[in-house]
Amino acid sequence: MKKNKNKEKNKNKRVHFNEEQLTEKARRSKVKSAEKILEENSNINLLSNQKKTSIDEYTIIKELGSGSYTKIVLAKYKLNENEYALKQIDKKLVDKFEKHYEIHIEKQCLIQLKHPNIVKMNKAFQDDNYLYFALEYCANRDLGRLINCLGKFNYKLAQFYSAEILSAIIYIHKEGIYHRDIKPENIGLDEYMHLKLFDFATADKINKFFDIKSMRFVPLNKNIAANLENENSENNIVKLEKYHILLLSHLFVGTPEYISPEVLEHNYSLIGPGVDIWALGVMIYLFFTGITPFNGKKESELLENIKNVKYSFDNTDIPDDAKDLISKILVKDPKQRIGYNSKDYSEIKNHPFFNGINFDELEYEAPPVSEIKEILEKVGYKISKQEERKKEESKNKIQKDLYEGNKDMDDSDDDDENEIQSKRLSASNLLEMTNPNLKVDADSTSSGNANNENSTSNEDVVLLEEKIEKKSPWFHYNTRILKFFSKGHIDYYDPKTKELKGSIFINSDCHASLVEDNKFEIETLNRTFTFKHKNKRVLKEWVDKINSYSLKYAEKNKKPKEI
């Protein structure tokens, strides 16, 4: 009887707990449970509670390149001794040059994309003055330099590299991204000579717009679509309710020789993934000939030829199956380009040009460079064997890599938005995003350095240096610092930013000549470079030095006569 009374008493007590007390009690219980789980699993990821990544965790080896607001260095991460191309972005200069959205676009794309032919971003972090992207290191610079060095590719190499570019394009399009500036200078070469697509600062997303308030891509919804035509899109920015949308597809980006007709004609309804396929067609032509299909004596002529798809296969050694594929890609209407109607571009993959290519196994195959390996190593390429790559990948999987286990990919997001979006963005300066031009020394055997008494066989010293005007692909002239190095290459730099803009390899196929009182040309196997300077004596000095090196190279590589 007494027990029943106590039960009744306790029951009544419970009734007197109010809702607020019960909620508080439940909250404390959940917190206690969570603390217990954390305690039990505290050894699972010890790095997750550590301080954010610092630049002090890296050993800087050397500078690889620089741009108007970035510097790229080769850096070794102290915890695992892995090397990375560390991109250092100056926050103050980002404000000055209004480069906020390019950085955010590149970061978001690289975090999302994981493919063997796309440069990996292993970490993004920041401090008070800089943002940092730790990128996969492309030890053999970029594809543009390789084309410059070889002039043109043999069938196997052209086929393999076309397949790797197509593989990357298929993947990014499947992920809803299109690059918009695919060209040889935006494709790196790793130590195994595999291709790595980079520089996503000009990328766009399919059916999404870039919201410059949140620095995020936002979906195209009915509200946005209904107002797009009615809004004044000056500076390519549309203001709609909570959105402040940058119309990336309306920005004129790209490099002249690789731009598609729909971009040139501002046909916004047609601008999309087809621009990347067009660039692939241009590059396949380039691989076999050393030149791009569209050209002209003046800028206007070049652009008209692209708009009218006016090019020729005459006097080229392009094989028939490659010609057929190129002609089916370089079509004015992107909807008529080969592969448009297949989601996975199977129509292109199954084209006879790619016979013998297994797209699923590309990353495991060694690029066909064995025939030219000796030539490449002479001019500074360091080519590792594919077997070594497999061992390295296996080792990384076993380690689970302490560094990559704590990527800090979002460390910078909150602070970035507070610091970066204070200024109104400009849509006119999208073209300056720097490329990580990785400086490679040529081997002294590429051309003698006997003309410089102070140089040794291992040094690459500057023989000539001059501030000069260089003709650009757009036919106007840019001021450049031209440097002739003792190992037989000419590099040219932007005088303001000190950024390396390109290189010319001097070999037996090069010839320099005075063309006017104030101009000289360097003819290579695949391209002619034009420079001008007011002093004719300076021009003659450069012409003589280039031709002297070209002659030495020819003599050095001349085969002895058989007896």
Long-range contacts formed by 469-473: CB under 8 A, 24+ apart: 469/531, 469/532, 469/533, 470/529, 470/530, 470/531, 471/529, 471/530, 471/531, 471/532, 473/255, 473/256, 473/257, 473/302
Q: Are 118 and 168 in contact (CB under 8 A)?
A: yes
Q: Are 119 and 405 in contact (CB under 8 A)?
A: no
End-to-end CA gap in the chain:
126
Q: How many CB atoms lie within 10 A of CB 508?
A: 17
Exactly one of 90, 181, 190, 276 is catalytic; name it.
181
Specify the DSSP element, H or E, that contains 383: none
Q: What is the DSSP letter of 142?
A: B
HEC string of 211-251 equals ECCCCEEEECCHHHHHHHCCCCCHHHEEEECCEEEECHHHC
Q: What is the DSSP letter of 501?
A: E
Q: Are 290 and 147 in contact (CB under 8 A)?
A: yes
- The strand pairing partners of 519, in sequence order, are 516, 532
182 vs 166: CA distance, rounded Å: 11
Which residue, among 36, 120, 130, has the nearest Cα to 88 in the 3D structure?
130
181 included as an active-site residue: yes
Signed CA dihedral, 318, 321, 322, 325: sign only: positive
Contacts of 542 (CB under 8 A, 6+ apart): 464, 466, 482, 484, 512, 520, 531
Active site residues per annotation: 181
